[in-house]
Amino acid sequence: MSTTLQLIMLTLVGVTIGQANNISYRQVLVPVLSQLKGGVELHLRSSKDGDHDFVRFLLRQGKYSMSISRTLELDSALPHHVLLFAGLEQLQEAFPQLTPRGGFYILALESSAPAEDPQLLQFMAEVWRHHNHSQVYYIQLDRGRLLLHNPFNQSIVLVDGTQAYTQIYQNLNGYPLRIYIFDSVYSAVIGDGANKKILSITGADAKLAKTVAKQLNFTPDYIWPDDEFFGGRRSDGSYSGGVGRAHRREVDIIFTGFFIKDYLSTDIQFSAAVYMDDLCLYVQKAQRIPQSIMPLFAVHVDVWLCFLMVGFFGTLCWLCLRALNRGLGIPRIFDAQKSRGRKVSSWSCALRIFIDTWVVWVRVNIGRFPPFHSERIFVASLCLVSVIFGALLESSLATVYIRPLYYRDLNTLAELDESGKPIYIKHPAFKDDLFYGHDSAVYRRLNAKMMLVAEGEERLIEMVSRQGKFAGVTRSASLQLNDIRYVMTKKVHKIPECPKTYHIAYILPRPSPYLEELNHVVLHLVAGGLIQLWTGEMKERAKWSIQRFPDYLAQLDVGRWKVLTLSDVQLAFYSLTIGCLLAGSVCLVELFFGRRKRK
């Protein structure tokens, strides 16, 4: 290294450390060690190091657990390690050991001259450049200093408290971070496919990524997404998609929401949960009820049953009144039997009452009033109730002609199981734990029906809406955003019983120095309601977007009144035709039997 460059680096070190050289490392090392979660492993070069002042100082502290090793081999069960070196040369020989393991390294140097500070800074930069690791404390025992490396302004920081390491990551000074984001429910990417360059990003995840970049002061370097967006573990043990990039430490932060679940990799970690979402199944919407029989479905079955029961109950009440009037000898208003010179049998009278009851009940004028006052009062009350039922039926008919009715949809997983439809999935992660591991026999059968298919030129939801022979799996928010037109136009139906509910977070490589500050910003945005605001805006805009599709507006009859035509009153003509045929048949039968009687 040239003398000029050494002087420049030495000047940077001096400016950073400033006038804090009088702070002893022992004043801040103990609280730093007490805040480290997990045990500490002390690596000694030989048994003679047991008499070293620094080692005795560490052993006298009882605020943390410590194990002692006489080799440089690191125990994977302990996250933090303390190593003692004679000087900078021995420290440089241990460079391969300083890989990120999720904990801190505390490297103690017995001797370090001020002239070696530029070489120490260069060593710190090499550790960061090759291992992307900054969780390293450096102790200069002869000078009594505890140091950290700030990789974002290439300087040495003198530790003066337990928050020194956290403060480094509160301002990244425009440092470029590799950000991975792709098209998902709450994110969309606009890019140049020929050059594989991302031009802009939109969505709630994109707004959060931009907010975090502004708060932490880093420059996002967006990476072109893979074909397998989310990805997972392949059969050969490798990883694809975003999971694979984080596993191989090719990205710093993935700002697309992932389900918090096991992706079969210990080299990734999640941020704080941002929002929740359901993993649901959807099927083809049930067919529309034909207009010829739509009046039969205008009201619920219980209304029709009540209508029939009231008709039979009214007949029974009228018969009881007639029997009571005759038994008590109450005089008639007029004697229709004597005026006609013939006597009516009890069966004929009962049949007449039955017919008159249903004539009144269906709001048709009665041809002959009953001969008793009590029966006339009963008929008047029956007419009033008939008006109420008629108004209910008429209003329901007007509603169903404006809003078409459909047959019953599949609303439970048990009904989906009984239908025998296979379940197609487009991500292998769905098959891992959607139904797997449940004691329910329905879940076990549904898990056996799942099939992984690849989306080609035609999307899976389009295939479900057009063919309807199978079910699909997707996120509930996806049906409210990207695929809302299929739901609003009654092409697909989401089964309300969703088998899984997940917390959703962002993914980082394990370990990541950005996790703590990222969670700090994310949790503030969640607590402030901004995440809910951004996702709500996207859902509202998705509802408005239906206005851009004229064919869907025509199908929904949006913006115009429903004009009834002859096809809308088919049932009335069917009823009239059937009634005329029955009346003609009865007339022919009566003529036939009348002639036989006369003969």
**What average pLDDT does this structure show over 483-508?**
88
Q: What pLDDT does 8 receive? A: 38
Tell me: the pLDDT tens digits for 167-225? 888 999 999 999 999 988 899 899 888 888 898 999 999 999 999 999 999 999 999 98
CA distance 73 to 371: 111
Which amino acid, 267?
D
Cβ 23 vs Cβ 145: under 8 Å: yes
Residue 188 phi, psi dihedral angles, 5° rounding: -145, 145
Q: What is the mean pLDDT of the chain?
A: 81
One-letter amino acid at 589 equals V
> Are 571 and 293 a contacting pair, CB within 8 Å?
yes
Contacts of 89 (CB under 8 A, 6+ apart): none
pLDDT digits (tens, 9 = 90+) for 347-380: 888 888 888 888 888 876 776 778 888 888 888 8
* End-to-end CA separation in angstroms for the chain: 136
Beta strands in 384-443 (DSSP E): 423-425
CA separation for the pair 482, 397 (Å, rounded)? 34
Indicate the residue type of 399. Answer: T
**Length of the chain measured in residues:** 599
Count of CB atoms within 10 A of residue 520's CB?
A: 16
DSSP classification of residue 141: T
Contact 236, 492 (CB under 8 A): no
Instruction: Using pLDDT thresholds of 50, 70 and 90, give the confidence band for residue 343.
Output: low
Any bridge partners for residue 195, and if so which? none
What 3-state class would DSSP assign to 253?
strand
Q: Place domain 175-275 in its CATH homologous superfamily.
A: Periplasmic binding protein-like II (3.40.190.10)
* Residue 303: other Cβ atoms inside 10 A: 14
Cβ-based neighbours of 585, under 8 Å, separated by 6 or more? none
User: What pLDDT score was predicted for residue 513?
Assistant: 87
d(CA 213, CA 104): 26
pLDDT tens for 411-455 read 888 888 888 889 888 777 677 678 876 778 888 888 888 888 876
Provide DSSP, 40-97: EEEE-SSGGGGG-HHHHHHHH--SS-EEEESSSPPPTT-SEEEEEESSHHHHHHTGGG
Distance CA 188, CA 191 (A): 10
- The domain ranges of the chain are 3-168, 175-275, 294-337+344-402, 566-598
Helix-then-strand count for the chain, H and E: 22, 19
Distance CA 446, CA 438 (A): 11
Residue 132 near residue 100 (C-beta atoms within 8 A): yes
Fold for the domain defined by 3-168? Rossmann fold (3.40.50)
pLDDT tens sequence across 523-549: 999 999 999 999 999 988 888 877 666
Residue 102 gets which letter from DSSP? S
Residue among 60, 24, 27 nearest 42 (CA): 60
- Using omega within 30 degrees of 0 as the cis cutoff, is the peptide bond preceding 511 cis? yes
Please tell me the least confidently modeled range out of 4-13, 325-334, 566-575: 4-13
Q: Which two tokens stand for residue 214?
A: 């502004």
Alpha-carbon separation of residue 38 from 76, 121, 165 (angstroms): 12, 28, 18
| pLDDT interval class at 282 (50, 70, 90) | very high
Region 466-483 average pLDDT: 87
List, in order, residues 6 or more apart from 548 with CB less than 8 Å away: none
Please answer whether residues 253 and 207 qualify as being in contact, where contact means their C-beta atoms are separated by less than 8 angstroms.
Answer: no
Select the more confidently predicted residue: 74 or 60: 60
Least confident range from 44-53, 541-550, 582-591: namely 541-550
How much is the CA Rg of the chain, to the nearest whole Å? 41
